[in-house]
Structure 1
């Protein structure tokens, strides 16, 4: 396996449960402050967004619960897998999010991690509202209908 095969620039890691568990209202793209070998693990695609969430603290945005697996060829400078990571957004966007998150039932969740055309890792976060059981049933029903229609077409 060559170095070119292992490290990819077309990374697009999705949180598949986010759309099922939450109703996504608004999306933002934020930069991530990374340390050490984290970018190498991201380029290998070894990231888990399932348990991740974002929170605001003193006008700053942080992501917690995102698991970036430690880099296999790393030395004692290797990163911690499940640490908090600061997210980079403009001040106006953070103020807007602060106002919306104070509303009852709204939260910030990571939906996608990707590498942009300049080579920087970006995290797409969504302002979301938790779905109730009947909403989840509706989502399952719509998905099954789409699946049946696609089968009938072919």
Structure 2
């Protein structure tokens, strides 16, 4: 009997709300410190980034409010679904992000979480500025125009 693999080979979970709410200035790919059951839940694509944000605590970068669902096969040794998780960046990148995020109107937000070719969970974060209402309207107009052009091309 063939063994079924419940884990997905390719995991790419995006924060769709982020690109609508924020204008990305700079992006970074970071590692995430996880426990055993957390990585298993990520491989099952049970992660939510919609409420997540990044903060600095004692010179280290952490992600808050990232929800990783409890692993279904773990009995009593399961993880806490919402907790602060440390992000792994180089020291120069941390210093650069800390100085820039101190500016008014800038925030560090998670854009997507994925599993790389070596099987490690990586998080893409962005230094971002919040969009104004008129910017959001302009983005929607551009998106509609692109969609209309594609429809005309297929007709």
Q: Note the C-alpha offset of 1:2.
A: 5.2
Which residue matches 1:92? 92
Equivalent in the alignment of 2:23? 23
Question: Could you say which residue in structure 2 is the equivalent of 1:66?
Answer: 66
C-alpha distance in 2 between matches for 1:35 and 1:3: 24
The alpha carbon displacement at 1:9 in A equals: 2.8
Question: In the TM superposition, what are the counterparts of 1:118-129 in structure 2 within 5 Å?
Answer: 118-129=118-129
Q: Deviations over 1:9-63 (max 9, x none)?
A: 3100000011000001100000000013001100000000000000111110000
Find out whether 1:107 has 2:69 as its counterpart. no
Give the paired residue count.
153
- Asked if the contact 1:32/1:121 (under 8 Å) is kept, the reply is yes
CA distance in 2 between partners of 1:110 and 1:3 (Å): 32
The CA deviation string for residues 91-114 of structure 1, in whole angstroms up to 9 with x for no partner, is: 000000011001110000000000
d(CA) in 2 for partners of 1:2, 1:81: 29
Q: CA RMSD in A?
A: 1.2
Indicate conservation of the 8 Å contact 1:46/1:68, yes or no: yes
Q: Flag structure 1 segments of 5+ consecutive residues without an equivalent.
A: none
In structure 2, the partner of 1:10 is 10
Note the 1:30-45 alignment, pairs <5 A. 30-45=30-45
Provide the rounded CA distance (Å) in 2 between the counterparts of 1:3 and 1:79.
Answer: 25
TM-score calculated relative to the size of structure 1: 0.96
Unaligned runs of 5+ in 2: none
Tell me which residue corresponds to 2:139. Answer: 139
- Alignment correspondent of 1:52: 52
